């Protein structure tokens, strides 16, 4: 298994083999072996590689085309949530209704008010 995307991702970041190996805590020759296909990284090393390259293991293994890490969070502003958009919010494998979503928003706002009030008194 040759991790063909490693070289590309490293070069995009303008990192040397040594700099990349240092971030992983491994020898330069070990990392070079990953890029050439001579060596295969352990699961722990794959996780570290995905983390430092800000991508997913699936992308490194050429299983998906999108390099965007699923760890990159996309923000949804519930106070500006447009019910006409094609979004579904699930809880316990069930889609929240519009009323449930509004109740959820009201609950969070009320909880925050209580917490702020309590923190002022302590």
User: Rounded mean pLDDT of 114-122?
Assistant: 83
Domain borders along the chain are 5-60, 78-120
Q: Does domain 5-60 have CATH number 1.10.260.40?
A: yes
Give the 3-state secondary structure percentages of the chain, helix then strand then coil, rounded to 5: 55, 5, 45
State pLDDT tens for residues 65-82: 766 655 545 667 677 666
pTM, to two decimals: 0.55
d(CA 119, CA 115): 6
| Average pLDDT score over the chain | 84
């Amino acid at each position: 298994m040759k991790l063909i995307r490693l070289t590309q991702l490293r070069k995009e970041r303008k990192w040397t083999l040594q700099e990349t190996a240092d971030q992983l805590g491994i020898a330069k020759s070990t990392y070079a072996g990953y890029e050439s296909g001579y060596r295969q990284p352990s699961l722990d090393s794959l996780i570290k590689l995905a983390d430092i390259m800000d991508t997913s293991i699936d992308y490194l293994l050429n299983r998906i085309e999108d390099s965007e890490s699923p760890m990159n969070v996309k923000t949804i502003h519930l106070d500006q949530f447009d019910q006409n958009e094609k979004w579904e919010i699930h809880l316990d494998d069930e889609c929240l209704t519009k009323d449930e979503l509004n109740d959820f928003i009201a609950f969070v706002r009320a909880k925050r008010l209580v917490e702020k009030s309590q923190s002022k008194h302590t």
